[in-house]
Amino acid sequence: MNETNVSELAAKANETLTDPERNRTVGDDPNPRFELYHMAFSLCSHKVRTTLAEKGANYTGHDMIFPVENYAPDYVRLRLKGGEQLEQVSDYTGRSSTTTEGFDPCVVPTLVDHEANRVVIDSKAICEYINETAPGADLVPDDIAGEVLRQVEIVDGTPHVAVLYGKHPGNDTRPAPVAERMEGVHARKCERLGQLLEEVKGDEALERAYRNKIAKETAAAKFIATPEDMRNAVDEIAGIIGRLDADLEKAGGDWICGERYTLADVCWGVSLFRLKWLGLGWLWEDDGPAASPRVEAYTRRLMERPGFRKAVIEHPGVPPSPHLA
């Protein structure tokens, strides 16, 4: 059997991705090795775009419309190629980690490596892959790789998704436009997925992908409507921030693993930006009940990185927040 040509799968997925403002080459190479399917405000996309920026890597980017283009059959077929050996997601705990939740065939980011004829899914795996294959500074130095990847895992397992989609207990600090948009979003997702399920009848792989996605979104709707689950999510994040403070003290440098900026800092920058954007900066800021000058100073350093600013803060389509200057 001939090996699947992933460039052909990507070309098929790209047929409807024609808006030049959202589908463009980043960098000065007109035919880059990498092709990235991402979204402006996707936290996992933020990790990958920041990693690409820190490595100085060129790529073709597709900033996809949610939840339309990421559900398209040709895109899902491409993504399924990258998750062939993985158990698909069918439940929800408020996280986006493939390691803990399973493989979601209808989300971003997805990376195509045209040179290696490979599709890579899951933000953590994509970031590590880019670091290994693209030239530029090594973001996972051998002598501290264990600690770098431990910190990456911590961020990967943080329930960021829960506190974006669900009301915060006691005081919902999410920006009003986003909070309003999240009302009933899971039902709308399931409605669209149900329509697609009818359209792809007979395609076993797509039918399975859409059914599993519906199961996940149904569970998500129940999770965010359960106050105890939402309280637990916020409490868990508070504990994670407390441990971050302790790890920063132990590291004794500007960055989480000491004096070198690493992939762990890429991931923490994205996490802390998202939490601050959502109004959860009180978990470490001076005027909050658990003030941490170390975490606040660390956050400020992360936000000042040119790569982070380019990939996240200044990226077109990232919505404003009253909690950010």
Residue 255 DSSP label: B
Give the pLDDT score at 325: 79
What is the value of pTM for the model shown? Answer: 0.97
Stated as kind and residue range, the H or E segment containing 293 is helix 293-303
For residue 43, give every residue at least 6 positions away whose Cβ sits within 8 Å of its Cβ, in sequence order, or none: 96, 160, 161, 164, 270, 271, 274
Is the backbone of residue 184 left (phi > 0), alpha (psi -120 to 50) or beta?
left
pLDDT in tens, the chain (325 residues): 357 899 999 999 999 999 999 999 999 999 999 999 999 999 999 999 999 999 999 999 999 999 899 999 999 999 999 999 999 999 999 999 999 999 999 999 999 999 999 999 999 999 999 999 999 999 999 999 999 999 999 999 999 999 999 999 999 999 999 999 999 999 999 999 999 999 999 999 999 999 999 999 999 999 999 999 999 999 999 999 999 999 999 999 999 999 999 999 999 999 999 999 999 999 999 877 789 999 999 999 999 999 999 999 999 999 999 999 7
CA separation for the pair 237, 131 (Å, rounded): 27
Query: Which 8-state DSSP code applies to residue 319?
Result: P
Would you call the peptide bond into 320 cis, given omega within 30 degrees of 0 as the criterion? no
pLDDT of residue 56: 97
Which stretch of DSSP H or E encloses residue 59? strand 59-63
d(CA 161, CA 181): 14
In this structure, the strands spanning 34-38 and 59-63 are parallel
Tokens read off for 222:
């129940």
Q: Which token pair is 148? A: 């770098």
Residue 18: predicted pLDDT: 96
At 74, list the tokens: 């040709």
Extract the tokens encoding 102. 């399973």
Contact 205, 103 (CB under 8 A): no
Domain 6-133 CATH superfamily: Glutaredoxin (3.40.30.10)
Alpha carbon 283 to its chain's center: 21
First CA to last CA distance, the chain: 56
Tokens of 111: 């990376």
| 182 burial via Cβ count (<10 Å: 0-12, 13-18, 19+) | middle
